[in-house]
Amino acid sequence: MGILHIFDMDGTLLAGTTASLEIARHTGTTPRLLEMEARFAAGELDTRGFSAALPGLWADLTPQVVAAAYAAAPWLGGIAEVCADIRARGEHSLVITMAPDFFARHLLELGFDEVAASTFPPLPFTAPLDPGGVLTPADKVRITDRTRARLGLGRDQCLAYGDSMSDAPLFRHLPHTVAVNADHHLADLAALDYRGDDLTEAYRLARTLLPTATPTACGQRPSSRWTASP
């Protein structure tokens, strides 16, 4: 049975933080980023407006700094093992995040099959951001449906993992969902609720939603590929 596993990144695979916060810590821009997040929470900035402000905040950002921020970030345990088990079963893994692609694409190193993220100009920023490349919560549904159609899968053959209301459209769209360290708003929408720091446990829980649940196992993972978001 083919299965598509869809993972959020910020707050889900990344424990209690976001890609932007981790980059801010490494660039000394945390206070300014928190100001932007406060404006976003107040509705003064939308998703695209927030993303459009990032190049001005990180004008000198380099791939090396991003790689260091990624490596130091607090990831859930067992991510590579989960990806390997998905591959060993002939299933498919997809990360969909509104975070910048220059951070999220590093997840391919852990064995995810595809990563869809907001598209930014190459670093350091030498071109303007195209707002059309910035993902919104609704895009999580669009990208999931595009991917499962390509794979020939129905909605009941998808498992989604998320933590916040940005995942709500997808959780309302799919029957098999797992809230990962989520607040009650998303947990109330999810089929199952996981609390902890090990993705293998959330993954085992998710598999109980499938008609023929089988134990997890570890396996070798082949190379991954990057998928542009839009």
SS3 224: coil
CA distance 124 to 197: 33
> What does the domain layout of the chain look like in residue ranges?
4-16+75-207, 19-71
Backbone angles phi, psi at 171, to 5 degrees: -65, -30
Q: Which tens digit of pLDDT belongs to each residue from 163-211?
A: 999 999 999 999 999 999 998 889 999 999 999 999 999 999 999 999 8
How much of the chain, in percent, has pLDDT values that exceed 90? 82
| CATH no. of 4-16+75-207 | 3.40.50.1000
Average pLDDT for residues 4-17, to the nearest whole number?
Answer: 97
Q: How far apart are CA 20 and CA 34, in angstroms?
A: 10
Q: What is the amino acid identity at position 189?
A: L
> What per-residue confidence (pLDDT) applies to 213?
56
Q: For residue 214, what pLDDT is reported?
A: 57
> Is residue 152's pLDDT more than 90?
yes
* 40-45-49 Cα angle (round to 5): 125
Closest among 115, 78, 80 to 94, alpha carbons compared: 115
What pLDDT shows up at residue 118?
A: 96
pLDDT tens-digit profile of 124-138?
A: 998 889 999 999 999
Residue 66: per-residue pLDDT: 97
More confident residue, 224 or 153: 153
Helix (H) or strand (E) holding 38: helix 30-41
- Other C-beta atoms lying within 10 Å of the C-beta of residue 158: 25
Please report, to the nearest 10 degrees, the dihedral formed by the alpha carbons of residues 229, 112, 62, 166 taken in order: 50
Q: What is the pTM of this model?
A: 0.90
pLDDT > 80? residue 87: yes
